[in-house]
Structure 1
């Protein structure tokens, strides 16, 4: 082996090792990682963040100017020291204690029973000894070393062991301390580096050479240590000797000063700078990545860098906090590189070309991108749709026309019309067909020059699509909703034949996409792939290709790259079927989930230079993907129920490391609210939660970005709140759960029911006895009542008998009275007849008196005289009238009584008249009874009417009958 060959092999070995380290470390040399800046307005704290640490649940803590900041992936919380002073250092141990150090103050935060972080001061333990607490100054570093917690200030070091605190004075003055590979180092301003172990300091030989330099970081590197100083650059300590680390990184640190750093996977070094962000280097001092304000950081002064449990990077800035997704195969070229919306990209002659909405840009292409942004090719300030290499010609399709690019400039404008893209024509090696805004054009190579030849006649519609492919027989154009099958003439001047297909299968309508796979044109509809048979003039399905996309959502774009990997897109989501060495395909979709929504819809751009370099066009720049970087950045997320709130109280369960406790809530607290969190720091805006309260709900809720759920008016009982999270890659976590019990109201409590049972038993006993007593009383009262009813019945019977007897007596009296009245009426009738008889007798007597007795003989005279006396005696001795009056008054006693009561001034004679009128006697009969003239009766009637107050129209007899 000659000398040159040996050098080549060494260089190849170094290059291979460098690539292996780079791939293993996940930090890429192209583009910048995804960066998320948190401003003080978001975390509600001070500007400076001096230290960072993470607990076992993934929560992050920051030593801020205003106190301790906690970030759980969803919300920020701030906890202050008693004097609201700044915190400069912190450390979280495995028990959950968060140790902090400030100015003349140090201690720890610990969760109480309700999850509230409360501060416990350790410096106050020395309050009685003012010499110890005097001028502690700032606690700059905290370490959990061996079985002690160590608080380091400039003048003293405090040691906490088993809750007992001791201290040691610095022999001279400490600068900083560093825990490296289970060894603890202190920098003494005069003695150099000291190794602390088991309560003793041991001096490292040869380290006093940099006593005038402030060491801000120490990194282990095999058998040596790399020291980063504030202003004097980087040094190597090896074999008891310190020497400058003469590397690219050292020159950079000398210019920008170092404020320490950290390591990524123990393979790469991160250096914080005062003036220009951070640099990430390998152990040879080669700068792999440089991030500063121009590259997306919000501040160039980095006070602290920290690698989290997912191998991503957190930066505590002089103003703000920054998260950097280093553990990812993706990096980006965005506005920092002058990139906007990207429609196509191409690598040609060590130059990366990018077609954007602002023109065609380029950047030199090598393994490590320099900090310079992309440059625009002059004359392309317009929409650039495509950049293609066809038949050795670099062509740009843009709004400015068909542009020939040479030496990073527009060498020639082939046609002023706007173009979408170009295609090589089979069997015509010197010709190119271009798809313009209103048809197709032919370009032909004339010697070494490419010139416009002619427009193709027969099709002049606006295409507005890149889905145009050409084979030996036809040019295929997909223009929704149709597929055009066009045949070029031999002289390429026209389309001889154009067929329009609305569908390529009887089952499915429409055409999803056209694509070239395995150097053949395929037509896709509803994930079924077809080819065209010219001989049979039909479309037939390639079931082997269709099977690759079975059970996938409906595709809209399919692209095969140079390594025969098949890229596909649906609903702005990208995936790839990666072809392995055995010829099989491996589906990869989850890694590209973060690009969803950022792809250029209908203009998907995939430029696979090689497996290490895949460029994907985005709406805001260009993404770079490396197949060879491990996908271990995609891990199953975790989720926590952060808090349980109910009226008048909150339990911050996220601060409690034991979440198996069952919480008992009063019934008045049956209005509960839960908050969730997940330590997902990559694309947190895509984090979604699903929850279920058992047994209140049977099914999980729909996925939602809301990290809060509230329930009201829950019934008493045992409940389990479950929640799970899904990250931006579509991976679900295991459920986290919280147990709680809502006690019943006092009137439905177990003791209340026991009381109710006892009360029911007592009540039943009392009621039984009372019923028994009442039955006895009822029987007694029933006997009394029966006796009373018997007596009452007997009394009623007697009374009834008496009433009956009385009624009988009354009936008898009434009957007797009726009989008397009847007889009275009979007597009245008889009396009237007697009156009439007397009248007749008086008439006869009058006739007898008229006889001349003198003319009669004595016997006759005697008989006449005797008759006359007999008649007079009969008339004189007749008492019928008096009996008549008596009986009339008996019959009409009630009427006469009412009439006398109503008209007291009425005379007896008038009462008699009223009675006779009531009896419906005629005037003549009344005159005979009263022995007065008819005129006298009329006069008596008039006087009676007047006394009764009757007018002429009123009937006297009717009035009397109404009384």
Structure 2
């Protein structure tokens, strides 16, 4: 809330005190207006500039030898007419068309849809024969609903796309349009008036026949000023032509005239052939003379034009010039022999100026429009100050303290270098000077001013010092020195140094005298020093005055009690209107921004009409009684809007605003700004905001270009405003554009994405369903497979179990078979034993003598013998046993035979008996050999089987089985 109140107070103060200053302006007789030259290297065109005009957007147009030049305050542009370069005349129509006249060609420029000026030929409506004799078009006039193009031989009247031609009675010179009347000079018939489609001869105006009239303006009703090339100035009144015997006429007779214009209905600007221009009042008194020596780059002025801010533009034989006639300020610069100005004062009817080159003077009561300042002989050095002390003029310079009189040095009071001088209160005959290494005392005696003594005890000094009844105060760098002097002014008592005035307000700011009282300032807070309290005390009234003023750097009070201050590189003033009442004036001094001398504030107020301000390049003059109503609100233009592939010149367009559409590939945009506020182009500032991208306005800047890259799709509005050197803001200017999204973010693309997403969802859903089905099918198959595998496994396990059972049964059966084999062998052995016994019985029966037996006994004996023999012969147990053994041990015998092919059947039988774990005795009985034969057979078998002694024969057979 405090910030808002401060800003509001500043704005209110400006409008209350600044705006009344903006009333009626006038051409000043003292000093020169600001002049800015544009060379052909600036505008990139030809040398000669024949005509000037301005459109409703503020753009200026120049008819140049190389085409049509356009200037918007920031950019120069050049356009060519059809089959012609030099444009001798131009006129901007109310519709925005720029009519131009060339050699054998005339037509108009008009902005196309992209703002670029395109040329349309009007002369193309003529037949070829007429086209070839057009010659140069010298003048263009908008007369009612007609456009009239004037050459030396014809008038071409364009209306409704048709051309009417009027021939010259003899030969036209030039034509002039004012007060809704069109006048044309014919070289032999005099002056004619075009009216109702015809030329009417004006009687009594033949005096200027065979003379070239270059300008005609109406000074007042029925009084027309006529400017000729070589015969001077004339007044036409009541059908009579009489010379205008004035100071202006004397000048033109000497230098020739190339035209004239009326300025503010109070002054006449007359172009000359040889010596620039003059500005005179309606009585012919020359007020200003501006030529090459005054800063104009060329002395031949072909055209002059007053823009919509009442400033003057000149088309030169070589270049273009802008003259700021509408300013509060005029200048004495290098054309007056002045460099950097540190001080000025009027003394005994001479204006003295202290500069970096010495002291210059000019008679105060002599006209300043002619003649330069003259150097005071002997002062060629750095002069820091020139001031009046005790009625005497003293200069503080690098050469010393110089006493001046009537433009000459009378005496060098002290050869040390000096910054300035101050009188001592209560010591009217003494004053103190600040030199390069301290302070000195000077005394005015009956024989004149003399150097008295150097003050001992202080070797610091600067141009910022003041003296009151108690102390000598010195401000140097960031320090404030309080110097207490002895009563005899010979030396210092004490020197105290301050770095701040209060703990709440750091720094020392500036030192100044206001209302004959010394004030100390820091951050716009003012203090006085209390000797009793020995501290700085805030001064409320003065501080309140500066409450809404920008933070000041230096301050001084002039002879009229006005307070002048500097801030940054600018200046303002508080013009005194009463006791502690001031009017704040800041706008008139905005053009001085950047031109003030740092740390040397030079203000010399002689009276309300004459204030001189020291600058880095001369002296400025300010007349506080001049007020100016013509300072208008500036115009902000968006000059161009560029993006990859195209550029739109918005500064030329006359049609309604439209929304520009950009593809996403062109989302890098560039804007250029301009403001046709030509008074001080260097101080024009712009602020902008891209709505839709930025939330706030940018800070004020002198930059005229702004680029944005990688803008997202959407609607944008570029807004621009301008602020001139008077800190007056323009209305907002804007243009709208839309960045389309890339194809992949277009609405149709999103529709496609929706359809694609729908299809994708359907496809995914379908796939999921199919996958579920497939998974179910696979799961069923897997279950079936698992079932079958399980079933197979069960069957396999069952089969293996059955095999195991079968194996077990086989093993059991084998065991049983072995057991049976054993049993069988045993039985067989029993049978063998039985047979053996029976054979023994048979043998014993043979030993019995049967002869002693009776027949019956003998028969029975024979029958018993036969029965025993039959039993022995019919017993096949052995063979059955052998057969059974081979069947039971078939696999073993087979493997044994395969492994040892050389083995004999007898050895195979032995192996079988050994496998059956039969004893040697049993084997001997079976094989019908002795037990020794069995051991021998076993030995041979081991040898054939290639077994060593450690290997077990039966174990070996078990491994084969």
Contact 2:24 2:630 survives alignment (8 Å): no
2:541 is matched with which residue: 529, 539, 544? 544
- The structural deviation recorded for 1:717 is 3.1
| 1:179 and 2:191 aligned | no
Task: Tell me which residue corresponds to 1:559.
Answer: 556
Task: Tell me which residue corresponds to 1:886.
Answer: 887
List per-residue Cα deviations over 1:198-228 (Å, max 9, x = no partner): 2232333322111122111112122311111
Where in structure 2 are the equivalents of 1:422-571 lying within 5 Å? Answer: 422-461=421-460, 463=461, 465-571=462-568
How far apart in 1 are the matches of 2:572 and 2:957? 123
CA pair 812-423 structure 1, distance change in 2 beyond 3 A: closer
- The structural deviation recorded for 1:922 is 11
- The structural deviation recorded for 1:648 is 2.7
- The structural deviation recorded for 1:100 is 0.3
CA pair 844-311 structure 1, distance change in 2 beyond 3 A: same
List per-residue Cα deviations over 1:459-510 (Å, max 9, x = no partner): 123x1x2221112222111223332222332322122333333332232233
CA pair 886-421 structure 1, distance change in 2 beyond 3 A: same
Answer with 224-233 or 920-929: which moved more. Answer: 920-929
Task: Tell me which residue corresponds to 1:738.
Answer: 735
List per-residue Cα deviations over 1:156-175 (Å, max 9, x = no partner): 00112233321100111111
- The structural deviation recorded for 1:512 is 0.9
Contact 2:29 2:369 survives alignment (8 Å): no
Task: Tell me which residue corresponds to 2:288.
Answer: 289
How far apart in 2 are the matches of 1:374 and 1:961? 144
- 1:483 counterpart SS class: strand
Task: Tell me which residue corresponds to 1:3.
Answer: none
- The structural deviation recorded for 1:601 is 1.4
List per-residue Cα deviations over 1:568-599 (Å, max 9, x = no partner): 11222211111226863121223322322221
| 1:164 and 2:165 aligned | no
Task: Tell me which residue corresponds to 1:20.
Answer: none
List per-residue Cα deviations over 1:698-757 (Å, max 9, x = no partner): 222333333233334434333222122222333322221112233445565556667888
- 1:340 counterpart SS class: coil
CA pair 937-138 structure 1, distance change in 2 beyond 3 A: farther
How far apart in 2 are the matches of 1:889 and 1:385? 146
- Aligned-residue Cα RMSD (Å) equals 4.6
How far apart in 1 are the matches of 2:673 and 2:953? 109
- The two structures have a TM-score, normalised by structure 1, of 0.85
CA pair 497-833 structure 1, distance change in 2 beyond 3 A: same
- The two structures have a TM-score, normalised by structure 2, of 0.85
How far apart in 1 are the matches of 2:727 and 2:917? 127
Task: Tell me which residue corresponds to 1:686.
Answer: 683
How far apart in 2 are the matches of 1:292 and 1:955? 148
Task: Tell me which residue corresponds to 1:357.
Answer: 356
Contact 1:591 1:631 survives alignment (8 Å): no
How far apart in 2 are the matches of 1:658 and 1:537? 72
How far apart in 2 are the matches of 1:926 and 1:55? 150
- The structural deviation recorded for 1:360 is 1.5
Task: Tell me which residue corresponds to 2:239.
Answer: 240
How far apart in 1 are the matches of 2:440 and 2:448? 17
| 1:587 and 2:584 aligned | yes
2:815 is matched with which residue: 798, 804, 825? 825
1:221 is matched with which residue: 219, 222, 226? 219
List per-residue Cα deviations over 1:612-645 (Å, max 9, x = no partner): 2211112222222221222445432111222233
| 1:613 and 2:610 aligned | yes
- 1:504 counterpart SS class: strand
Contact 1:923 1:937 survives alignment (8 Å): no
How far apart in 2 are the matches of 1:846 and 1:609? 182
Task: Tell me which residue corresponds to 2:100.
Answer: 100
- 1:682 counterpart SS class: helix
Answer with 729-738 or 115-124: which moved more. Answer: 729-738
Answer with 363-372 or 390-399: which moved more. Answer: 363-372
| 1:630 and 2:627 aligned | yes
| 1:641 and 2:638 aligned | yes
CA pair 821-479 structure 1, distance change in 2 beyond 3 A: same
Answer with 167-176 or 635-644: which moved more. Answer: 635-644
Contact 1:362 1:408 survives alignment (8 Å): yes
How far apart in 2 are the matches of 1:80 and 1:386? 56
Give unpaired runs (5+ residues) of structure 2.
1-22, 850-861
- 1:208 counterpart SS class: coil
How far apart in 2 are the matches of 1:318 and 1:203? 34
- The structural deviation recorded for 1:841 is 9.7
- The structural deviation recorded for 1:420 is 0.9
Give unpaired runs (5+ residues) of structure 1.
1-22
Contact 2:24 2:628 survives alignment (8 Å): no
Contact 1:25 1:267 survives alignment (8 Å): no
- The structural deviation recorded for 1:78 is 1.0
CA pair 822-212 structure 1, distance change in 2 beyond 3 A: same
Task: Tell me which residue corresponds to 1:711.
Answer: 708
How far apart in 1 are the matches of 2:883 and 2:365? 167
2:150 is matched with which residue: 149, 152, 155? 152
Task: Tell me which residue corresponds to 2:193.
Answer: 195
How far apart in 1 are the matches of 2:104 and 2:910? 136
How far apart in 1 are the matches of 2:474 and 2:243? 65
Query: RCO higher in 1 or 2 (8 Å CA, sep ≥ 6)?
Result: 2
CA pair 557-812 structure 1, distance change in 2 beyond 3 A: closer
How far apart in 1 are the matches of 2:797 and 2:495? 130
List per-residue Cα deviations over 1:500-526 (Å, max 9, x = no partner): 333322322331111111111111122
CA pair 424-161 structure 1, distance change in 2 beyond 3 A: same
- 2:506 counterpart SS class: coil
How far apart in 1 are the matches of 2:372 and 2:917? 149
CA pair 670-577 structure 1, distance change in 2 beyond 3 A: same
- The structural deviation recorded for 1:646 is 3.0
How far apart in 2 are the matches of 1:649 and 1:145? 38
How far apart in 1 are the matches of 2:909 and 2:614? 139
CA pair 522-25 structure 1, distance change in 2 beyond 3 A: closer
CA pair 681-822 structure 1, distance change in 2 beyond 3 A: same
Where in structure 2 are the equivalents of 1:269-308 lying within 5 Å? Answer: 269-308=268-307
Where in structure 2 are the equivalents of 1:697-846 lying within 5 Å? Answer: 697-745=694-742, 811-812=801-802, 814-828=804-818, 831=821
